[in-house]
Structure 1
Amino acid sequence: MKWLSLTLALVAPSQAALRFGCSTVSIQRLDPLVEPGKIPSAHLHQIVGGNAFNATMGDDIGDRGTCTTCTFSEDFSNYWTAVMFFKHPNGTYKRVPIMQNTALPNGINGGMTIYYTQQDFSSNGNQKITAFKPGFRMTVGTPTATSKYGPGLKFVCLQNKGTRFPELDDFPTKPCAGGIMTVHHFPACWDGKNLDSPDHQSHMYNTVKDAFQNSGPCPASHPIRVPQVAYETLWDTTQFNNMWPSDGSQPFTLSYGDNKGYGTHADYVFGWKGDALQRAMDSSCMFQACENGRPLASQGVQQMNACQVKSTVDEDIDGWLTSLPGM
């Protein structure tokens, strides 16, 4: 996932690419896709995006949000992943904070880097990229996986915030000088009928091989090309580098007790206002060039950070914990 090759793959006209930051809107045990209505959900999530996020989100959150933590002020979507914890040799756990990507404006409150790209960075003909519809949602990965789940789900041992390779299928096995990045790539072929499915995945088809790599065309069963959605989350594991177990064992775990990382997963609920995402996909803008009305409205870091969702789950997630929240 080298930045140079990534950028060169996008220079052709009409290959719009959004890359933007979203600060944290909430960190709590809610999961309106997998466990709708359950308060609290089974494990802790890191959530960014619109403030309509709650345990029982309806069909069109784009119409109900009043603020968003994302750069693009018309994007009220929600994006979330499991939280990372450090397990101390004494058996206690500490939540790993997230940090902003170097590609994002300074001052963002943690958050994620979000991508919407065309053609999986591949030659998929000139097929039109169709924006998601109100009510659309999907997941990638599963917390129950006990081996590599599938392509596009990766860990990167950062030497610095600009490191993008090599990509690993599970947690790094040594301290990382710049932290750990998790990468989540979603499928980009839709069946054109269902906004969701019982497993939140069957309505989509994954053409991704790994990372931002070339991939094949959509199959007849899922013929509609939608934007390639991807998340990058940077975890500041450096503060724990001097606490690694003396036996050399890997001390990090995801919030549902996974110290391998095979169950890494992410959730997405579409919430762009009106035709904003379609306008972007129909343009030839790239990254920051899509901001300030060209063609998308954008906002500053102060406005992004000010948008918050109050926690509905009263529990300590920041101290040294005797067990993972919900475990």
Structure 2
Amino acid sequence: MRWASLLVVLLVLAGCADSRTVAIDEVPVAADPLVTTPDASTGTFAVDCGRNESRHLNADNMVIAPGQPFGAHHTHEYVGNVGTDAASTDESLAAAATTCRAGDPSTYYWPVLRLTDRTGHDEHEPGGGVHGNTGEVLPPAAVDITFTGSPVSRVVPMPRFLRMITGDPAALNSGRGRARWSCTGFEDRHTDRYPDCPPGGRVLRTFEFPSCWDGRNTNSPSHRAHVEFPAANGVCRTGTFPVPKLRVRVAYDVPHGVPYAIDSFPEQRRDPSTDHCMFVNVMPEPLMARLTACLNTGGTCS
């Protein structure tokens, strides 16, 4: 019995447990209850930041653990601001170069994805992988960053240096995850499990951020209380203001049939529900104003 339990644990850590994987064609099509009103801000604004071709990786988290090297206890993948690390400040971010076009030095980052059937180590953590996330890091095949408006109103600009997180890295215990996994060709289906995609299909991770701001703060002690998600009908709670809604979608060419898993805290066992993403808005105010105007006038901009 003891050996059977150990085998289950090892399968989970390797990303092979059936309960954490689902064939994408078994996932139901997601319902979209939102109804757009005449006051909606229907535009879209895309930001091209590449796919981390320079391989900017570290085990820091400047939003959750500022000033603490290796404070994430797992490795993050970055696009945008090339200087982002544990020591980053508003001033250093504003002065750094970026992989984004149109002069957006914002930082966007999330846990790496690894192929777990092969060896790999993590040079971004003391001891070469003591955080327990083993396997070969798989670079993204594509990263799409899009801002959209509100289905019920105009939006106001995000303040510069606004910090946001979506998803919960402790979701295995909290049950408050917002993980959205899917496959190309099945974008209308999403799950909090690792999807088994058809041959040739890419694995998709979609991060949707809160879009109701308290109107005062760029951060809060919980790193969440200053922004929140709208109600199911798209309306922001009284006392909060609709800002552009950020969506980051990351695609991977996972070899068919090969097990994979994201990095996580050790106690979260690389569960797919713990997927999460961070964003710090460093756009200059004129660029944010142009983005906001595009959304409010129904444009398609980039």
Q: What band does the TM-score fall into relative to the shorter chain? A: 0.7 to 0.9
- In 2, the alpha carbon distance for the partners of 1:259 and 1:97 equals 18
Looking at structure 2, the residues matched to 61 and 12 of structure 1 have their Cα atoms a distance apart, in angstroms, of 38
1:277 aligns with one of 288, 294, 298: 288
2:149 paired residue among 115, 118, 124 = 118
Q: CA, structure 1 residues 17+90, in 2 after alignment: closer, same or farther (shift >3 Å)?
A: closer
Aligned counterpart, 2:277: 266
Alignment partner of 2:155: what SS? coil
Within 5 Å, which residues of 2 pair with 1:128-147?
128-146=154-172
Matched, 1:75 2:104: yes
* Pairing of 1:276-295 with structure 2 (within 5 A): 276-283=287-294, 284=297, 286-287=299-300, 290-291=301-302
More helix by share: 2
Following the alignment from structure 1 to structure 2, what is the Cα–Cα distance between the partners of residues 46 and 29?
9
Give the counterpart of 1:94 among 136, 141, 160: 136
Which position in structure 2 is the counterpart of 1:32? 62
Alignment coverage as a number of residue pairs: 247
What is the distance in 1 between the residues matched to 2:226 and 2:216? Answer: 8
SS at match of 1:146: helix
Aligned ranges for residues 135-284 of structure 1 at < 5 Å?
A: 135-146=161-172, 149-151=176-178, 153-159=179-185, 163-173=186-196, 177-207=200-230, 215-221=233-239, 223-238=240-255, 241-242=256-257, 244=258, 251-256=259-264, 258-283=269-294, 284=297
How far, CA to CA, are the matches of 1:282 and 1:174 in structure 2?
A: 38
CA distance in 1, matches of 2:106, 2:119: 39
The whole-number CA distance in structure 2 between the counterparts of 1:274 and 1:177 is 41
SS in 2 for 1:268: strand
* CA positional deviation for 1:30: 1.9
In structure 2, relative to structure 1, the CA distance for the partners of 1:285 and 1:54 (3 Å cut) is: farther
Structure 2 portions without partners, runs of 5+: 1-28, 121-133
Cα 1:176/1:203, change in 2 over 3 Å: farther
Cα distance, 1:150 vs. partner? 4.5
Pair 173,260 (structure 1): closer, same or farther in 2 beyond 3 Å? farther
Whole-angstrom distance in 2 between the partners of 1:172 and 1:224: 35
Which amino acid in 2 is paired with 1:136?
L
Q: CA RMSD in A?
A: 3.0
Counterparts in 2 of 1:90 and 1:280: CA distance versus 1, 3 Å: closer
Match in the other structure for 1:15: 42
Distance in 2 (alpha carbons) for counterparts of 1:229 and 1:61: 23
Query: Structure 1 residues 177 and 49 mapped into 2: Cα distance closer, same or farther (>3 Å)?
Result: same
Gaps of 5+ in 1: 101-111, 210-214, 245-250, 292-327
TM-score (norm. length: structure 1): 0.67
CA contact (8 A) 2:177 2:273 kept: no
Greater CA drift, 142-151 or 196-205: 142-151
Q: CA deviation at 1:261?
A: 0.7
Q: What's the offset of the Cα at 1:19?
A: 2.0
Shift of 1:82: 0.6
Q: How far off is 1:28 after superposition?
A: 1.9
